[in-house]
A = this chain, B = another copy of it.
Amino acid sequence: MYEVEVKVRADHEQVRNRLNELSANPLGMVTQEDSYYDAPHRDFAETDEALRVRREAGNDETVEVVTYKGPLVEEESKTRKEHETVVGDGNTVDALLSALGFDATETVHKERERFEIDGYVVTLDSVTGLGEFVEVEAEAKENDVESVRDGVYDVLEELNLDPEEQIRTSYLGLLLGDTGE
């Protein structure tokens, strides 16, 4: 499966009103704090890898997850090798990584409010230091990536957002000052 995902800057109040008009289904709100690590033996910025500990707090539970993202395997679909698992205690993973020479150098903090509409997930992200964004995403099989992408664009337009303003840089990249892809 592929993840088709388009992100734009957007004023949340206007988008939220539009989601109400369209009777979108609210999926709840979570807070995510992501710590990104440097490696002692590689420059992840050069190798295009990432190592992350995420602490996600929802309404009634907190979940902590460690994730490795490998370099792009395929440019067009933005496919990466990913290894991700829940951990019992994120602070212990942080201490373990630190002891091995991996240091948490960047943190991305965001609040995410999710809605579902016509099978697409619309996420209103408030990212500390960056502002408000809206992501529209859906899963696609290899042979229907194009049609799913068209559907994502349609949802953006229904929300009065412009797919042409798509931002391809990750929040981490934006915080680090990347402007390109």
Residues of A whose CB lies within 8 Å of any CB of B are 39-42, 49, 51, 66, 68, 70, 81, 83-89, 92-93, 95-96, 99-101
Q: How many copies does the complex hold?
A: 2
Pick the 8 closest A-B CB pairs, nearest first. A86-B88, A41-B41, A85-B92, A83-B96, A85-B88, A68-B96, A85-B89, A83-B95
**Of B49, B51, B87, B100, the contact of A39 (CB 8 Å cutoff):** B100
CA distance A96 to B49 in the complex (A): 11
CB-based nearest B residue for A102: B100
Contacts of A84 in B (CB 8 A): 92
Establish whether residues A86 and B83, one from each chain, have CB atoms under 8 Å apart when the complex forms.
no
CA distance A88 to B51 in the complex (A): 17
Contacts of A93 in B (CB 8 A): 66, 83, 85
Residue from the set A70, A99, A100 with the largest chain B CB neighbour count within 10 Å: A100
Contacts of A66 in B (CB 8 A): 87, 93, 96
CB-based nearest B residue for A51: B100
Contacts of A51 in B (CB 8 A): 100
CA distance A41 to B66 in the complex (A): 21
